Structure 1
Amino acid sequence: MRRMGGWLGAKAGQSTSKSMTALDEHHALQDAMTSAALIINDEVEQAELQLSKGTSPFHKLGRATAIFLRATLGFEKEIMEQAGARIAEAEESAAEHQRRAQRDHSTSYQSQIYPAGAEYALCHAEAQLMSAVIAVLNESLTESLRGFYKLRKAFGTLYEIHEAEKTYLRARGMSRPGSKSSSAAPSSTSLASEPPPAYSDATRKPAVDIKGTPDAKDTPSGVLTPTSSDEDDDLEFVDAEDGKDMPPAADKYRGHLDMPNMKNIKLDDADVNNSTLPNTATTTLPSAVEADSKGAAYEAEQEADFRTITSDPIDLFIHSGTGLCYGLLQLLLSMIPPAFGKLLSLFSFRGDRETGLRMLWSATKFKHTINGAMAGLITLGFHNGAIAFCDILTSDAMPEARLRNLLSEMRSLYPKSKLWLLEECRMLSRDRDLAQSVSLLQNAPKSSLKQVDALALFETSLSLLYLHRYEECADSFVKCVGMNNWSHAMYFYIAGACHVELYRIHKQKDAKKAAMHAERAEKLLREVPAHSGKKKLMARQLPFDVFVGRKIMKWDARSKARGCSFVDAVGVSPATEMTYLWSGFTRMQPSHVEESLSLLAWSEGQSGWDAEPADERALLAFLRGVCQRFLSRPDLARSTLTDSALCYDLPKLKACEHPDTWPLPVAHYELAVLHWTACGGEKGDKEGWGKCSDELAKVEGWEAFELDARVGMKVRTGRETLRRVGGSGT
């Protein structure tokens, strides 16, 4: 196997387009970025048409980005194959142009900040990141491993660009926007008189060692080091059997570049004088302010604005693109669930959430370009999704005013895009205004991307589940089956679960309606096995497919053993269970939670409840304890979880047929949340934080269980929060 490291991937001698002069570069970048911005405004076909007229690496990266969005939003195999081919073309073009820039500086742009060809190195890294995502979404384990390798190479490239920028700024007593330190001592050698060193042609130790950690001793700051151009093709990967020899779960949760009038920019964009470079810069956390009713007012984060350092479009492209990509990588790597921890440890990935978020926020300053818009979309998605679903957080984890202002700016800049409307609806859901969220999505115009419509339909379906509008929810999930190729088994399962609840609601009131819903429920649930396992990730079944498939087998076995209908064999409220697993309780009004409690009571009211196996009893107690927590009844929630759920041990649950064992470890997480809240959160004491930490440790030390990645992210966030407040976060 060839030496790993470096970032060049194109074969020497290949030619994709003629060399560009420095002036050509600026024109090509301007045209490509103007066209690519159409993508984020839901004008994808127009963007692709405009981008297809150019042959520069910037144009090819833009075209690759357009089809990448289609592929990742819809998971359609044919589109992913097309995306792979277009991304590979972008990779090759970027690598070739970087090589030319390295060899002949006179024909390429010379930055005072970055090494020659850094703009192409960034394009190559962005293409590698997209290629890695496509590879991981591929059903082949071999392709997934190739993807992780490319991810590591992109990480190394971005790190080196980031370090070159930091070196330049340190020499002037400034800090990079998004960096942790507020300032650095100036270098004894000024870099103003000449550009940073070009890439070395010599064979040397790679700038990123085999563990993925940049080697500071052997890498001059500001130097990107190429390696063998055909190393990707010589990786000794072979096809592996599906699901075989997979690493086990980890033991621990281990522009448009014409710069706008700065006075007209409302978010983090101050009126600046580009002719004067500041001698110092400070980096502080956002000031605490109260949002107005629209959430538009806030005080911006006080950090160096890169436009006061350079006004060159290529430098700004490199800066914003690095902030987007390196920030995203840092963020994602900080959230890796335990199921992937063991695999990623082979590549020695490490991430830092705070650094990632700072870099993404910094990139959003360039929101009129696709780099800034994508950074905004990721930042909003992270807070409205991942963070909104976590419980052990500090008060500054959700910068409400800043997020709402960012969303307002993006919707104004890109009024045609349904992606921003989707984020607005997620924000409404986070505000527990589910009805308004559903209304906006149902009445929204269609997107030019059917994949975005599918995403909106899925979001609508979940909100209908949380609103207990079961008939609408079931119909909506059935429509999802025809919209994308992701988890059809789960769509059918939730639709069937909705009709189970309707059957139970009408059973004592309207026998005819109950029979109709029972028939519909069984028909939908019987579809689940036929679709389970059809879609795979890294040669493994999707976690939810495994979960719902086991549930159907469990109910089938109960039906045969008890001589009852399939629907009557269904256990504790499946709709309430799915609501918890999709973090729905955080979005529900108290009245909705009360309704969930009544659904749980149905099972306990049946004549055969006393004979129910331990896993069903533990599941009901767990879900009831969760409802009590969200109804602000902490003492009752704690006693229910401790006395009625955790009173069963794991061996007893495992002895049940097709058992539900996941409530036990997740009950410990719920207790951790209760301890965190009881002690006052970040304002609490060491004793309360210690109890919270102890419960998290029980989840961390648990064996692999169903859907552990979902709670794994919450546990990891909890650990990070405890670390920040000084409460045993290690």
Structure 2
Amino acid sequence: MPPRETVLKQIEGASRGFEALLDNDLVQAKQILSRDPYSAFHLVGLGLSAFLAAILSREDDELRNAQETLIRAETMANNEANAKRAKGETAGIFPGGTEYKLLTGDATIGQALIAIMSESYVEFVKAIWKMNKSYKIFMGIFKTVFPENVSEHDSLHDIFTRLNDRYLEQTTKPHPAVESSGGFFSSWGRKKPSAVAAPHLRHVSSSSAIPTLPSSSASNGEPAIAASAPVSELPSRSGSSTDLSSSFANKVTLADSAGNAEVDSYPSPLWANDPLTKLVISGAALGSGMFGLIFSMLPPKMRKMISWFGFSNSNRPVALKLLTIAASTGDDVHGYFASLTLVTFYGFLLLMSGWQASEPTYLRSLSSILRRVHDRFPNGTLWVLNRAKLARYERRSEDAVGIIVEALGREAKEGNSFREADSLLVFELSWLYLSQACFVETADAMERMCTLNSWSHATYIAIAAGALVDEINDQRRRGETPSPAVVERADKLLAKLPGLCGLKRVFGEKPVTEVFILRRLEAQKAKLERWIRAGRLKEGAKLWEVVRISNASELGLFWATIGGRSPASGVQKQIDLLSSFSPPPRFGPASSSAAPAPPSSTLGRTETRSSTLSGNTYRRRTSVASTTPSATIPPPSSATDDLDTTAEILQRDLLLGILYTALGHYDSSHYALAVQFLDAVLSASPVEVGDEKWVVPFAGWHRAVVELKVGDAETKEMDGAKAREVWRGKMEKANGWLDAVLATGEYDMKTRLESRVLMLRDEIQMKKVKVGLA
């Protein structure tokens, strides 16, 4: 068992190493974390650094190195946790060895995540066992740190106050000798403050930015180490201080159970300068919060299944509070990971749920958390990425592109040893360009991805090739001759695509994107043969000549890039391109038979004809923004039409429905056309759908989204009682479409869509609470 002073130095060193990683200096991070091979803190930090690099690069050697390092770290931490200790020895204000139990949990969950990525069923089973072990460790520590538990109704003020009270109680007790037979807090006593001093007790304020560790040097040349608070004097009265009884130093915006913004002020932690106490509190909050958040997002059946392994606790509001505690108080790896978890979660909701009960609340929450960490690491790739994501979620795509281009330019000039993280920036940049309908730039970025990591190159190339085909078709639409350079490039990428599919395996299976790409590739080849047989093309014609609905559009739909939070100019350009294909769309400006869309103020109700979802027919009344009934699909011709099957026409209908939904954000009258296109897909027969079974459930999910967005538009100026009744109908219909989606059989990207169904249902439930229907 190392002396207390050594432990504090190890904590500081490991924290500095991980900070170097978050500031894009992977080389320095590894150097710092490799200096003490007998420190469990350093080994866990080294393993987690290797883990981050590995999941970004997807290189087998990196994964293997990370796994081996974390196994050594787990062994070392476990030995220290079980080592014999002097009576009364503690970790801050907690039982001695708690800090090493925490490290054991960190190392174990890291191993589990790596095992999940190893593409082996055997390793996946090991991952379940490792996660269960980590879960039990974190929950055990949670009960020590939060003996009164944390409920959905506790505010952050309540939680921090309880923690501060407990800390003050333990650190102001008399200080008996270590050999004393007192309780495990006894050796960390302090002189009890006088009756005069106690009411005026002050402490160093913890600013909204995550504090840094001391960097000054002591007289002996060694780095100065912050003393563990229990062996220091009373909290400082000097410097920047905050009177706990009169003000609050921190504020954070959270969403309550109704999705309302809840600005929660909380007192600065008294343990801010106590590394061990801070480590345990932030670690316990991160571990239990992260597990709770993950469980809350699992489908009910999956949640029930994993409960057999001992997992439980799926309260999302509590999980978010715990993660906020870790992010707000920890300047160690736990605090940083908590911040990263929160911004990822809020971003995922904003992008993938389709509709939110309170979008501004999520945006404010994400912004406040991100700002806190970004101030500490202004050039760190992970935080620059999330700055760009936030701009994208706020529909500021040009700003988002600028943030990423500037960061990549700076790294090219100054260097960046954390090169693996660049793949995240380039991947995000790819989707941003696609959302703007900048097709050549999309292809450039996706091809670059093949040089940055080893994940599915087939997926990257399929999107790049699809974007180039979109550019060729858009040049035709504008009456231009397609660029020979673009044509040659698209042809080469499409030619290499079949050989790339199947090179990557996940649990012994091809990635779901590659399964989809291969099937669509076969459909396009069959189309080429039809056009040749019809005399429309000569023998030897190239595949790009027949492609109209590209992989870029299809995969962009799955990644919520087509439509979604795209800029209006990009959405309109994609609508114009799709509408230029023959036969013309059945609705909208390109259709002479389509009735004009009424303004949002005249959104009406009409009866839709029965809809078929994978053979399950159900009738429903729907509130739609149109009075035009769905049109039948005209029989297409391979000799004359760009879209020569009813399945292709339905794919276009789905894409146009999604794109008009996106335009509805800027002008709600566009929801009318969105409803028409989506209802047309839902009304299609199995024969018309053919092999593209996925279009129907995706149309059902998007139809639910439109219904809720129309609800927002209709109730914007309504009073509470009237709005409540409107929402009752809207949510009932939306849930009906979602029920039908979940009842559908197998189709492409099913698991991804089902996760979005669950996210949207959570938002509907929050809205019910908000309007008084739950």
TM-score range, shorter chain: 0.7 to 0.9
- Which among 570, 573, 580 is matched to residue 592 of structure 1? 570
- Which among 411, 418, 422 is matched to residue 453 of structure 1? 422
Counterpart of 1:302 in 2: which secondary structure? strand
In structure 1, the partner of 2:728 is: 686
In structure 2, the partner of 1:713 is: 755
CA contact (8 A) 1:507 1:514 kept: no
CA contact (8 A) 2:135 2:288 kept: yes
Range with greater deviation from structure 2 (74-83 or 443-452): 443-452
Please say which structure displays the higher CA radius of gyration: 2
- Which among 42, 57, 60 is matched to residue 74 of structure 1? 57
Counterpart of 2:466 in 1: which secondary structure? helix
- Which among 485, 491, 496 is matched to residue 460 of structure 2? 491
Alignment of structure 1 residues 224-303 onto 2, 5 Å:
262-263=204-205, 265-266=207-208, 301-303=264-266
In structure 2, the partner of 1:636 is: 673
In structure 2, the partner of 1:523 is: 492
Counterpart of 1:394 in 2: which secondary structure? coil
Determine the C-alpha separation between the residues in 2 that align with 1:610 and 1:21.
76
Q: Does 1:29 align with 2:11?
A: yes
CA contact (8 A) 1:367 1:376 kept: no
Name the aligned partner's letter for residue 576 of structure 2.
Answer: S
Q: 1:512–1:591: structure 2 CA closer, same or farther, 3 Å change rule?
A: closer
Alignment of structure 1 residues 194-233 onto 2, 5 Å:
none
Determine the C-alpha separation between the residues in 2 that align with 1:620 and 1:568.
18
Alignment of structure 1 residues 6-45 onto 2, 5 Å:
19-45=1-27
Q: Does 1:579 align with 2:564?
A: no
- Computed over aligned residues only, the root mean square deviation of the Cα atoms, in angstroms, reads 3.9
Counterpart of 2:763 in 1: which secondary structure? helix
Determine the C-alpha separation between the residues in 2 that align with 1:604 and 1:340.
44
Name the aligned partner's letter for residue 296 of structure 2.
Answer: S
CA contact (8 A) 1:75 1:486 kept: yes
Give, in angstroms, the shift of residue 512 of structure 1: 5.5
CA contact (8 A) 1:478 1:492 kept: yes
In structure 1, the partner of 2:221 is: none
Q: 1:116–1:194: structure 2 CA closer, same or farther, 3 Å change rule?
A: farther
Name the aligned partner's letter for residue 638 of structure 1.
Answer: V
Determine the C-alpha separation between the residues in 2 that align with 1:554 and 1:338.
36
Give, in angstroms, the shift of residue 47 of structure 1: 2.0
Q: 1:729–1:663: structure 2 CA closer, same or farther, 3 Å change rule?
A: farther
Give, in angstroms, the shift of residue 618 of structure 1: 1.6
Give, in angstroms, the shift of residue 711 of structure 1: 2.3
Q: 1:469–1:515: structure 2 CA closer, same or farther, 3 Å change rule?
A: same
Alignment of structure 1 residues 80-479 onto 2, 5 Å:
80-100=63-83, 103-106=84-87, 108-110=89-91, 112=93, 114-167=94-147, 177=156, 262-263=204-205, 265-266=207-208, 301-303=264-266, 307-308=269-270, 312-336=274-298, 344=306, 347=309, 349-350=311-312, 351-366=314-329, 368-395=331-358, 398-444=361-407, 445-446=410-411, 447-479=416-448
Q: 1:396–1:434: structure 2 CA closer, same or farther, 3 Å change rule?
A: closer
Give, in angstroms, the shift of residue 433 of structure 1: 2.1
CA contact (8 A) 2:575 2:659 kept: yes
In structure 2, the partner of 1:648 is: 684
TM-score by length of structure 1 reads 0.77
Counterpart of 1:443 in 2: which secondary structure? helix
Summarize deviations over 1:146-170 as a string: whole Å, max 9, x none: 1122112111111111122221689
CA contact (8 A) 2:472 2:486 kept: yes
Q: 1:44–1:523: structure 2 CA closer, same or farther, 3 Å change rule?
A: same
Determine the C-alpha separation between the residues in 1 that align with 2:388 and 2:643.
44
CA contact (8 A) 2:436 2:571 kept: no
Determine the C-alpha separation between the residues in 2 that align with 1:378 and 1:326.
13
Give, in angstroms, the shift of residue 669 of structure 1: 1.0
Determine the C-alpha separation between the residues in 2 that align with 1:137 and 1:80.
9
Residue ranges of structure 1 left out of the alignment (5+ in a row): 1-18, 196-221, 223-259, 290-297
Summarize deviations over 1:547-592 as a string: whole Å, max 9, x none: 1121111111222243243223324244333332221222312221
- Higher relative contact order (Cα pairs below 8 Å, separated by 6+ residues): 1
Summarize deviations over 1:4-33 as a string: whole Å, max 9, x none: xxxxxxxxxxxxxxx223343233223322
Determine the C-alpha separation between the residues in 1 that align with 2:430 and 2:104.
38
Q: Does 1:619 align with 2:651?
A: yes
CA contact (8 A) 1:474 1:495 kept: yes
Give, in angstroms, the shift of residue 604 of structure 1: 2.8
Residue ranges of structure 2 left out of the alignment (5+ in a row): 176-184, 186-201, 212-233, 256-260, 585-636, 665-669
Determine the C-alpha separation between the residues in 1 that align with 2:368 and 2:474.
43
Identity %: 21
Give, in angstroms, the shift of residue 396 of structure 1: 6.0
Q: 1:497–1:346: structure 2 CA closer, same or farther, 3 Å change rule?
A: farther
Aligned length in residues = 624
Q: 1:343–1:480: structure 2 CA closer, same or farther, 3 Å change rule?
A: farther
Determine the C-alpha separation between the residues in 2 that align with 1:273 and 1:699.
58
Name the aligned partner's letter for residue 739 of structure 2.
Answer: A
In structure 1, the partner of 2:197 is: none
Give, in angstroms, the shift of residue 483 of structure 1: 1.1
Q: 1:177–1:534: structure 2 CA closer, same or farther, 3 Å change rule?
A: farther
Q: Does 1:536 align with 2:505?
A: yes
